[in-house]
Chain A
Amino acid sequence: MESEQLLAQLLYQYQDQPGGLLPLLHAVQADFGYIPADAVPPIARAMQLSAAEVEGVISFYHDFRRQPAGRHTLHICRAESCQAAGGEALVAHLQARLGIEPGQSSADGELTVESVYCLGNCACSPALRIGDATHARVDIARLDALLDSLLESAS
């Protein structure tokens, strides 16, 4: 009920904005953590689009999620500058320690790992982001420390 009201508010806010679908989807995801399937028909109606068109837009962009993410999201940079500075060793370490690959969430729902292609920190590669906090010049010891404090705060 509450979430329906929230959605209605967002639709009202964005429906008259030219090209407002992306800002609307961003706002929905910011509030709900993902784009719920049952939000698509009302979004389509408000923006005067077909549900298929809205689905098409959601699936085109990497940022939009159809499922909730874990409590924390770790974006690890996979692009060339970070590759050159040892970034793929961090990916391997994440896989070894957590047993998940980029694109997956840990079984307890604590952490989702996603690939990202450049965070603009390439002068201090490798880089990753946890929530909105970016870390650069990351080595395996630093990654472990970050994971420790993250997963500790969870328990």
Chain B
Amino acid sequence: MSVRYFVPADTTAIAVGADDVAQALAAALETRGEYGRIVRNGSRGAFWLEPLLEIEQHGRRVGFGPLSAAEVDAIVALPPEAREQHPLFLGDVEALPWFAAQRRLTFARAGLGDPLSLDDYLLRRGFDALERALEMAPEEIVQAIDDSGLRGRGGAAFPAGIKWRTVMDTPAGQKYIVCNADEGDSGTFADRLLLEADPYQLLEGMAIAGLAVGADTGYIYLRSEYPRAREVLRVALAKAEAAGYLGSNLAGSQRSFRIHLRIGAGAYICGEETALLESLEGRRGMVRAKPPLPAHQGLFGRPTLVHNVLTLAAATTVIADGAQAYAALGEGRSRGTLSVQLAGNVRRGGLVEVPFGVTLRQLLEDFGGGTRSGRPLRAVQAGGPLGAYLPESLWDTPLDYEALAAVGGMLGHGGLVLFDDSVDMARQARFAMAFCTEESCGKCTPCRIGAVRGTELLDRVIAREAPHSELALLEELCDTMEQASLCAMGGMTPAPVRSALAHFPEDFA
């Protein structure tokens, strides 16, 4: 009877010891003379359980974690019927409440098998959507994306269907699909997880987008901070091309789609789509004024569809399952599922995919389990460095784009960073300004100069050198940045600053 052992080869899993666990496992199997296959799968995204070891035997797959290498040998030694007694035994991981309460679509495959195995991918409905798309007219594909209600997952939440249609309707000629894998927001790792656990899904989504809008070339712009994702993608691209799922004869259709992988160079602003295009063209990542929209004049001046990793991945779900099934989930104008990332001072950190509409409190408490330090949870930053800090009074807000915006928040790319009561909100406000100083592209004055002034002002506040009246100056500065910045870097840096001031005034006194 063959036994399979699963130990993720995901960046975070490895960062907490998964390679050591895999080594200990190989050694334990060898000394015991046991036969067993070790699969280095992607992570399921339950990072609080990493390093996770799963054992599949007699049709049952059970987990142990979080594990240290020293504990592996004893687990391997257990006869199957005695495994349940082990203190780290988790049973069927998907039956844990943390998983059972999720609705996984985009992350349905994550962590189940070898991310680079095309057979594993095909076994789990891989390329079903591409096969369907090849039988659909471009107009039908675009209509399905439109009907699904899918909105961009990168931060701006713009309806995807409108963008696809705009690019489709530009005159035929060279067009591009650009995947934004710059994932710069602190507290986010969903793109990285997907790229490392299920890379073919992204490639499939890009190929479908290419068929729909008439583009035969794609670029993935991946941040340099993700060396493992880069390696997985490099191999995935080569294998997909060799198997005919990319290249000049897409799945036997005589249609062509190729993808190039490009690496960023450590600039947060290059996540902004026009700065990203400048960077792809080999220049400084300076934000472009709009219009022209990238959909009309994007990469190398050609019509370009720019999407986040998760948006392109979700396109495969929409095409495979149908627009109606996708649109049936969610709340208000936020359809489908949201990939929340629980981060910071959190007990059960990881990737939680749920239909839009769950409350912040459900995520922080039911899924997150509160702080890892055990101290009271005081503030949550939603939506990355340009997102607001939210106090407890706002945690009953449902997570959809409009509901969060109504309380001054932003969902962004879905990151939630938890802070306990040791946080100093004046310092967090200062960091927001300092980060903007560091990462501003420098094109417009309100952002470039405003952030420097804001940092200096908050330094004086923190040193208790500023009279309280200077906080009024800070508000004015925020007004200017919001009203006169060219992009959301300068335009939304005031959000964390203002929310800290409004909700935690005692820290500025």
Contacts and interface: CB of A to CB of B under 8 A. Distances in A.
A123 B186 contact: no
B245 interface: no
A72 B454 CA distance: 35
Interface string B434-457: 010011000000000000000000
B11 A121 contact: yes
Contacts of B227: 132
Interface stretch (A4-12, A20-28, A92-100, A104-112): A20-28
A134 B265 contact: no
A130 B73 CA distance: 29
B189 A120 contact: yes
B415 A19 contact: no
Q: Is the interface of B mostly helix, strand, loop or mixed?
A: mixed
Contact of A19 (B16, B226, B280): B280
A15 to B, nearest CB: 11
Interface in A106-147: 116-125, 127, 132, 134-137
Contact of A23 (B185, B262, B266, B350): B262
Contacts of B282: 19-22, 47, 57
Given A60-B285, A63-B266, A80-B344, A120 B431 contact: no
Contacts of B280: 19, 22
Interface residues of A, number: 40
Interface in B211-239: 224-227
Nearest to B300: A18
A61 B267 contact: yes
Contacts of A21: 282-283
A26 B263 contact: yes
Interface in A52-96: 53, 56-57, 60-64, 79-85
Interface of B: 11-12, 14-16, 47-48, 50, 183-189, 192, 224-227, 262-268, 279-285, 300, 341-346, 349-351, 372, 381, 385, 415, 417-420, 423, 428, 431, 435, 438-439
Given A118-B184, A123-B47, A123-B341, 15 more contacts: A22-B282, A26-B265, A61-B265, A81-B187, A81-B417, A84-B417, A84-B420, A84-B423, A117-B186, A118-B186, A121-B11, A122-B189, A122-B349, A124-B16, A136-B16
24 contacts: A19-B262, A23-B262, A57-B282, A57-B283, A60-B285, A61-B285, A63-B264, A63-B266, A64-B265, A79-B187, A80-B344, A81-B343, A81-B417, A82-B186, A84-B343, A84-B418, A117-B268, A118-B186, A120-B188, A121-B15, A122-B344, A124-B15, A136-B12, A137-B16
